[in-house]
Each structure stands twice: as C-alpha cells, then as structure tokens.
Amino acid sequence: MGLAWLPMATWGAGRVSSGDMQNDRTLTILYTNDTHARIDPFPDTAREFARLGGVARRAHLIKEIRQTHNNVLLLDAGDVFQGTPWFQLYGGEVDLRVMSEMGYDAMAVGNHEFDLGLEHLAEVASHAKFPMLAANYRVHNTPLKNTIRPLTVIRRGSVRVGVFGLGIGLEGVVPQSLYGSVSMYDTITRARYMAESLRSFHKCDLVICLSHLGHQYTRASRPSTPDDLTIAAQVPGIDLIIGGHTHTFLDEPVRVTRPDGGTTLVTQMGHSGVRLGKLEINPECWRETGTYRASFYEVGTALSTTPPQRQACSSRDDLPSSRTESR
C-alpha cells in the first residue's frame, strides 16, 4: 500500500517573513504516548488495531522522517511500561533501550512507570539516554532523586525548545507501597513556574509540556491533578501539551486560549504505538500568525519511502490544508 493522504486540520494563514517552513527555524516534533510495552505489532487476530504498531516499524518511520526533515524532536508522554509479556519479562528495560536507539529526546513519567517500585525504576532508567520528566513530583530523598528531572532544554538549529513534564497524582492511582515517599507539588503552580522559567531564564523559543495528567475528565472521574485542557486554560506560556494517560485519539490538536491571550495546542495519540504524531511548527510563524501543520501516521498501515510534500510559510503564499499521513 502506498502513502495514503486524508484531510485534517488547517494551517492558519498569515503574512510572515521567515521563509520556507523547512528552514532552520522550523521544528518537526514527533511524539507518542502510552506505548505500554507494545514492542511487537498487534497480532492478526486482535479485535482492534490488528497488525498495527510495533517498534521496528516506528523506528523505520522515524528514520525516514529524519532523512527528509530538519530539526526533528522525538518525545513521549509516559506509560512506556506495562501491557505485554515484554514488561513481565524485562521490566521496561527493553522499552527504554529501544527508545534510546530511536533517539527519543525526553519522556514524561507515567503512573505505570512505578509498577515495580522506585528502586526498579531507578535501575532501569539507567538504560534511557534521555531525561525522564515530572516537574510536579517531589523526589528528594527517594531512589529517584537522580532519575526524574523537572525540565530539559533542547537546541535544534537556532531554536531553543524547553520541555517539562507533569505526572498524574499518585494517590489512589498507584499503590502507596510502590511510590513510597514521592510526594506532589501543586500541579498548576508548578506548571506556571516551569513555563516562566523556560521563557524568561532559559530563553526558549518554544515551550512544550509532556503531560501524563489525562486529556479531559468529568467532575465525577477527576483525579487529584488537573487535566490537560485545564492546564492549557490556566497556565500562560505553554505552546504545546503532548498528553497521555487517557488513551485519547485526537485527529488534530485542540486549540485552547490561555491567560496571556495566546494559544496552547493540546494533542494525544491514543495508545500502544499505533500512531506517531507529527507537528511542524516555526516559532515565529506560530507566535505571529498561529501557523502550524499537524498530522499523524498510523504505524503499519503502509510503509513508504515517499517523503511528505514540503509546504511554504512565506509572506506571499496562503498556507494550504494540513494532511494526515497514514503509514
């Protein structure tokens, strides 16, 4: 099967002077969430997602994209652990090793990362060649003090990208015997501090939150921490929230107006690695005109070496519709 194209979100049209969207200031952000130890594709007999997913296919796809796109970031919003016999046998070590081989830049800490306890997480995290982020977890004086970080700054070309993580409230979600003395900061207060620090102190051009809080809750189902849409509406300075935990399949990002009048994009790619999200964004185009390009790949639908068509973000051209890239 060749490359399939389906209509999705639209670009915001505007007049900017930054030139082509694939210039030195354009980022290609690839992302996953809740992969849940799905190393192999779903089997042919699966009731849902038959033959989709698998880390070998995802790795091949990421390699293809890196060959045709500059300034690629690869991020995950947590719950890498738990879900298949791979986790029962190897306790997450295989997942972190293959993510390192794929070149992930950062991941949020999900609740299932605690499933074998703090000491185990600290041990297997040594195989991750990328930071594990949760700014609202207080890990001082725990085995995770050198494992979990609040934020990281990534440079791609001339762009500085600030990334911080938020984890779901552990009480009532994870047995206390597994998370021990890890405690919580107030999530919204901590998110505001992270965004302000990345903007003002670290001088980042784009701020991304990797969230394992969940996309949206009803009042009855709400955990002790806020959801992604609440964070977006109450915290200024975040450009993009890549979410997890609720296994929400979003065909396009949700746009939320934040307190400073700007817009935060909120996205999530379901679960089990059946989708790879993709967001192309130039910080100047985004800030001045709200321009971005959102798409996703269905991993396993088709594999093609045909690169996506490059689009323009110029002062003369209207920006065309975004597309979904199914592979």
Tens of pLDDT, residue by residue over 22-41, are 467 999 999 999 999 999 99
pLDDT the model gives residue 219: 74
Domain count, the chain: 1
| CA dihedral of residues 118, 119, 123, 124 (deg, nearest 10) | -40
Q: Where do we find the tokens 């070309």?
A: 157
CB atoms within 10 A of CB 186: 12
Main-chain dihedrals φ then ψ at residue 22, nearest 5 degrees: -100, 35
Domain housing 87: 4-326
One-character DSSP codes across 105-168: -EEEPPGGGGTT-HHHHHHHGGG-SS-EE-TTEE-TTSTTTTTEESEEEEEETTEEEEEEEE--
pLDDT at res. 302: 53
**pLDDT tens per residue, the chain (327 residues)?**
232 322 233 333 232 333 444 467 999 999 999 999 999 999 999 999 999 999 999 999 999 999 999 999 999 999 999 999 999 999 999 999 999 999 999 999 999 999 999 999 999 999 999 999 999 999 999 999 999 999 999 999 999 999 999 999 999 999 999 999 999 999 999 999 999 999 999 999 999 999 999 999 987 677 788 999 999 999 999 999 999 999 999 999 999 999 999 999 999 999 999 999 999 999 999 999 999 999 999 998 754 333 443 344 443 223 333 333 433
Instruction: Give the CATH number for residue 24.
Output: 3.60.21.10
List Cα–Cα distances, 209 to 163, 165, 239, 263, in angstroms: 6, 6, 8, 14
Helix (H, G, I), strand (E, B) or coil at 97: helix
* CA R_g for the chain: 19
Q: What is the pLDDT of residues 7-18, one digit of tens each?
A: 233 333 232 333
Residues 6 or more apart whose CB falls under 8 angstroms from that of 119 comprise 143
- Cα 186 to Cα 295: distance, rounded to the nearest angstrom: 33
Cβ atoms of 315 and 17 within 8 Å: the answer is yes
Alpha carbon of residue 197 to chain centroid: 20
